[in-house]
Amino acid sequence: VKIAVLKETRANEKRVALVPAVADKLSKLGAEVHMQTGAGDAVKLPDSAFKNVKFSADPLALVRDADVVASVQPPDPGIVEAMKPGAILISFVYAHKEVELTKRLRDRHITTFAMELVPRITRAQAMDALSSQAALSGYYAALIGATHLARILPMMTTAVGSIRPARTLVMGLGVAGLQALATARRLGAMTEGYDVRPETKEQAESLGAKFVDTGVDARGAGGYARELTQEEKDKIASVVTKHIQQADIIITTAAIPGRPSPKLISKAQVDGMKAGSVIVDLAAEGGGNCEYTQPGETIQVGQVTIVAPLNVPSMLGEHASELYAKNQFNLIELFVKDGGVKLDWTDEVVAKTALTHDGKIVNEAAQKLIA
Ligand code: NAD
């Protein structure tokens, strides 16, 4: 089995889909590992750090006879054209944003495993790149918040009096939100969390945070949240506004699968915030959780700073690559066996992670989207 790992080409993408320890494990599986020259350079992994890996500067030559092509971001169309029919692509895809590429993968008879489709079940946790990358983002959001504040987070007793700890409010307590709470707390802030899934109360409290209870229960399918009714939104605003206005840092992470980011902070709520406070909007990729958010920009609205970074995991490229490569390896291990590729379509993880196979789009949500 030939596995080819590409150098990422998208702007601001520093991650790489393979790290040396995982390359060794792939070799032990009996795979022949090939990589594009310089693929790990952005995360301080020079070609020389990889043992038993063959390097090639030409990505088209690299993928032409590869059985498995691995990357972080979806590959350029030219790569898909060069891949052999029946080969496997494994990367993040997000078909709703990559309609043309998805059609091309289908028409070229590529079997695509889209990392964002890995089911959120216990057995697939080790393959769950959404979670590994979100955990890093949540951690980093707290640091971004802290460094945009002209105040400190912990209580500090000094010769001229004591400084009160900063208040951090985290809105959306999924994987990223819980890490943000934990990190802000470690930095000494007073922490509060809010979500529309009631089970997050206990999770927030176990991290030393206060739960802002709005009484709204918007549990949707598969452990995710659903969209809110106007009545629910009003009910939430009546409780949460006070906490927004007391916060020094707000970190928002709310997402609903397949939908634009829900707006959790209105313009009026921002206008009522404390001077000097900061919002870190981790939902920028989906349009943002704050009405003022400009994805990818840091803006000033009155005395409030709104930071909306894109691709936060890439900013922590070394650890993000390490975790991502391990997630991918655990998935690859399901189908690379005894020196060959064997796809077991009765395996839930294989079936649910697949986006295209054998000339068809096999993921239901993507089927509805792409005719
Ligand atoms: P996500 O990125 O889809 O959403 C982030 C958070 O935003 C969620 O907690 C969601 O409830 C919240 N949210 C949505 N709308 C909101 C609103 N209007 N106001 C406030 N909050 C709102 O979530 P995620 O981090 O990917 O995790 C989603 C769920 O999946 C969690 O229950 C998590 O524990 C679960 N999960 C399970 C596994 C597993 O069992 N293998 C792995 C990862 C995650």
Beta bridge partners of 306: 279, 299
Ligand 1 atom closest to the CA of 255, numbered from 1: 4
- Ligand 1 pocket mutation pick from 125, 197, 265 by most atoms within 8 angstroms of CB: 197
350 compared with 258, residue with greater pLDDT: 350
Mean pLDDT of the residues in the chain: 96
Residue 258 has pLDDT above 80, yes or no: no
In this prediction, residue 257 carries a pLDDT of 78
Ligand 1 atom closest to the CA of 203, numbered from 1: 34
In this prediction, residue 256 carries a pLDDT of 83
Rounded percentage of the chain residues whose pLDDT exceeds 70: 100
In this prediction, residue 86 carries a pLDDT of 97
Active-site residue (options: 10, 125, 238, 271): 125
Catalytic (active site) residue 131: yes
Cα dihedral sign, 276-282-287-288: negative
Ligand 1 and 195: CB distance under 6 A:
yes
In this prediction, residue 313 carries a pLDDT of 98
- CA dist., res. 34 & res. 189, Å (int): 46
The reported pTM is 0.96
Q: How many Cβ atoms from other residues are within 10 Å of residue 291's Cβ?
A: 15
H or E segment and range at residue 329: helix 317-335
Residue 352 has pLDDT above 80, yes or no: yes
Structure tokens at 225: 């949240």
pLDDT band at 338 (very low <50, low <70, confident <90, very high): confident
Active-site residue (options: 24, 64, 224, 266): 224
Query: For the residues 189-211, what does the mean pLDDT come to?
Result: 97
In this prediction, residue 12 carries a pLDDT of 92
Condensed to tens digits (0 to 9), the pLDDT of residues 136-187 reads: 999 999 999 999 999 999 999 999 999 999 999 999 999 999 999 999 999 9
- Ligand 1 pocket mutation pick from 211, 231, 253 by most atoms within 8 angstroms of CB: 253
CB 53 within 8 A of CB 32: no
Residue 21 has pLDDT above 90, yes or no: yes
| Residue among 115, 148, 120 at smallest CA distance from 304 | 148
In this prediction, residue 323 carries a pLDDT of 98
**Distance of CA 191 from the midpoint of ligand 1 (Å):** 19
Among 136-145, 149-158, 271-280, 333-342, name the one with the lowest average pLDDT: 333-342
Ligand 1 and 6: CB distance under 6 A:
no
Query: For the residues 250-260, what does the mean pLDDT come to?
Result: 89
Catalytic (active site) residue 226: no
Catalytic (active site) residue 321: no
Condensed to tens digits (0 to 9), the pLDDT of residues 40-76 reads: 999 999 999 999 999 999 999 999 999 999 999 999 9
Ligand 1 atom closest to the CA of 131, numbered from 1: 43
